[in-house]
Amino acid sequence: MTNEPLVDGFNRRMEYLRVSITDRCNLKCAYCAPSVTSSSRASSCDMLQDDDFLRLINVFACLGIRKVRLTGGEPLARRGAVGLIERIGRIPGVMEMALTTNGTGLKPVAEELARAGVARVNISLDTLSRHKYRKITGRDGFNRALEGFHAALSAGFSTVKVNTVVMAGVNDDEVEEFARLSIGMKAQFRFIEFMPTSAGLWSKEKFVPMSEVKRLVEKLGPLIPASRRQWGGPAEVYRLANAQGEVGFISAVSRHFCADCNRLRITSSGKLMTCLFGGEDLDLREMMRSGSTDAQIAEAIRHAVINKNAVRSLPEENETRLAMACVGG
């Protein structure tokens, strides 16, 4: 198995792997998971085991992947998640490990995750209202999510980010309130356009372009560009004057960032996805079950990556989608 960089047909180097360790979640956000059980959701026997994840991530690390982000579903809903994460952090070549969570189960394990090697934590939080939270998520977990956020701030992670999907008539009236939090808190508050990732779950009426979100934030003062970090991702990051934290804007729909894409995704059932908006490209679980060697798996990954699309395909062009809960965002 060669250690040559993993580069696609458009000379984009893949260094960032998002791994969904479960498609289960304790919340039922309408834009993330369908209201009924999806046939694409993995059964317990289809879900990758810990050793499967470790094997695959090791193969990807040998191919030049340097950052691994653990997602879900809700990753902390997986039994033994912290132990798995600790083992992933010991894989040679993995230089940074991150976690995306809804925060509701974060408080009891935040410090343990930091000790396990998690450097960055993203917390999905779409509202600062308990009433709205219950309406959006279908659960009364607002207080636990806030407790998780505050636990993350004190646990020793290098970066804590809050991800907010902005939806017209739902939470667009809270944009300034979220941005204002960056003044007194050392965290990054990121606004994300409502993405059409699952057929039937997206509505143009709820879409708010990031240009409008930025205009709302600028009511608080001029935005000062922040320095771009390694593996910084698609967010445009700024700081308000005298703020401890930052604000970020992700224009996932109105201005795609395909030209700089450096990421791949593995679903909880072992499917490799080269694009969030694309289909399932390669069944890595089946390759492992059929006895493929690491070298054969690596070669198949290279082949999938070399055929990675130059730009994504939105639902109007391709309506077949996995729910976000199955992909991991």
Query: How many whole angstroms separate alpha carbon 176 and alpha carbon 210?
Result: 13
Task: Locate the domains of the chain by residue range.
Answer: 16-161+258-327
The mean of the pLDDT values for the chain is 90
pTM of the model: 0.92
Q: Tell me the two tokens of residue 285.
A: 């679980």
- The yes or no reply on domain 16-161+258-327 and CATH 3.40.50.150 is no
In the chain, alpha helices (H): 50-62, 81-88, 110-116, 130-137, 142-155, 175-184, 210-217, 284-289, 294-306, 324-327
Q: Which residue has the tokens 């080269």?
A: 274
Query: What is the three-class DSSP state of 270?
Result: coil
The residues, ordered by sequence, that sit 6+ positions from 201 with a Cβ below 8 Å of its Cβ are 30, 31, 32, 34, 323
> Max Cα separation, the chain?
59
Q: Using 50, 70 and 90 to split pLDDT, how confident is the model at 232? A: low
Q: For 18-74, write each residue's pLDDT tens digit.
A: 999 999 999 998 777 655 454 455 666 689 999 999 999 999 999 999 999 999 999
| pLDDT at position 309 over 90 | no
Tokens of 50: 């810990």
